[in-house]
Amino acid sequence: MTVAHTGRPAATVPVYDVVVAGGGPAGAAAALALGRAGRTVLLADAATGPPPVGEALPAAARVLLRDLGAQDVLDERDHLPCYANLSAWGSDDLAAQDSVLDPHGHGWHLDRGRFDRELRERARLLGTDVAEQTAARPAGRSGDGTWTVELRGPRERRAVRCRWLVDATGRRAGPAIAAGARRVVHDRLVALCLALPPSTTPTPDASTLVEASPDGWWYTAPLPAGHRLLARYTDADLPGARTGGTDLLTDLARARHTGARVSAHPWPGGAVRRAPAHTVRLDTVHGDGWVAAGDAAAAFDPLSSQGILTALYTGMRAGQAVHDHLGGDRTALTHYATELDTITAAHLRNRRTFYALEHRWPRHAFWRRRHTAGPADPADARSSTRPDPIPHPGAPA
């Protein structure tokens, strides 16, 4: 980012300790952590792109939400309990991981829009100024090191000042990329997503299902109000990534378990949504006056089912690190970056291990790529400052 030093801004411009760009789980968690620490915060939620369809939240998220003072956002009237995770991986047989064995209890099928709004409302109750449908764009820094940030929304355009920026803008990571950070992309995974209408014969199924296929894998899960999420994951350069709804339905007929669950739902007439799902991280997650959190810092293969959990955790930790840094701890951001490195390395190890368990289609490009990549995935990893290959983030994570 080319920083324009504008001198000392007018005293009438509002001044915050921190501006958080991005109102998803990571941004809200950062605002909650900073608000609980007594910092003045503005949280800007641009609300661009298609609305998230739905996602699963692991039971361990209860611990994070409690630490953030937001444990009451999970209400069974709004979100569905998830009692088991099923998988057909490595064979045609279904394996089950039951929530009865989880010390934290069951997970959740989220109404993502409501979940995000509730988190932002908790931040508001702590004193955070929340700017809905408003994009935050860094415009320069003054001589005293404070940022001038332009806020742009349908009803207003104004400027504020802050001492620090948190980039929680998702995979685009606009402020971080503008500041000189670079993407390290590890694969080409994309998702083809559909939200299916409610079934005419409702079933009590409350589990997620993952099923491997020759050119990728399928994911399906129930959604609140009787809808169902269906997603196919494959690489962006493979033929399956360019299929429409009719072709997707034809391919689904070869997915035994997924097809059985989807068959009870009417097939929608809307277009299939394509969404980026590749593993990507920034080569640096903080710099002079900024820090990245959530998908802006590191976005992982959805097979891990850790997307929102990671977003909440990295948002919370980024907020804590900024608070400590502003309080004089010059090691706080370095420790945060080291923690992100550890999380990313663990994800890459687990991803290799899990993909290696599926060996039925070794000659197919999707599986060959995942079986032959080395310890740090050098076959696919590449630094990039180009935009992600798909224009908008999607729901599964």
Cβ pair 281, 29 in contact under 8 A: no
Q: From the CB of residue 71, how many other CB atoms can be counted at a distance below 10 Å?
A: 14
Q: Which long-range contacts (CB under 8 A, 24 or more apart) does 215-221 make?
A: 215/239, 215/240, 215/361, 215/364, 215/365, 215/366, 216/189, 216/240, 216/366, 217/89, 217/303, 218/252, 218/255, 218/258, 219/302, 219/396, 220/258, 220/261, 220/262, 221/54, 221/56, 221/82, 221/109
Report which secondary-structure segment, H or E, holds 292: strand 290-292
Find where tokens 């005419």 sit: 200
Inter-CA distances, 257 with 130, 208, 254, 264, Å: 43, 11, 9, 12
For residue range 325-377, list pLDDT tens digits in order: 999 999 999 999 999 999 999 999 999 999 999 999 999 999 999 998 654 44
Report which secondary-structure segment, H or E, holds 34: helix 25-36
The per-residue pLDDT string of the chain (397 residues; one tens digit each, 9 = 90 and over) reads 444 444 444 458 899 999 999 999 999 999 999 999 999 999 999 987 666 666 889 999 999 999 999 989 988 778 888 989 999 999 999 999 888 778 888 999 999 999 999 999 999 999 999 999 999 999 999 988 899 999 999 888 999 999 999 999 999 999 999 999 999 999 999 999 999 999 887 776 789 999 999 999 999 999 888 889 999 999 999 998 987 778 888 899 999 999 999 999 999 877 889 999 999 999 999 999 999 999 999 999 999 888 999 999 999 999 999 999 999 999 999 999 999 999 999 999 999 999 999 999 999 999 999 998 654 444 344 444 333 332 222 334 3
Q: Distance between CA 33 and CA 319 in Å, rounded?
A: 5
Report strand pairing: 129-132 vs 41-45. Answer: parallel
Residue by residue, what is the 3-state secondary structure of 178-243?
A: HCCCCEEECCCEEEEEEEECCCCCCCCCCEEEEEEECCEEEEEEECHHHCEEEEEEEECCCHHHHC
State whether residue 104 is helix, strand or coil.
coil
Q: Distance between CA 63 and CA 75 in Å, rounded?
A: 15
Q: Distance between CA 103 and CA 99 in Å, rounded?
A: 8
Q: Distance between CA 111 and CA 21 in Å, rounded?
A: 22
What is residue 11's predicted lDDT score, i.e. its pLDDT? Answer: 54
Structural domains present in the chain: 15-81+107-185+279-345 (3.50.50.60)
Report strand pairing: 290-292 vs 157-167. Answer: parallel
Q: Distance between CA 78 and CA 57 in Å, rounded?
A: 13
Tokens at 390, concatenated: 């798909």
Model pTM?
Answer: 0.90
Give the dihedral of Cα atoms 184, 186, 189, 190; nearest 10 deg: 0
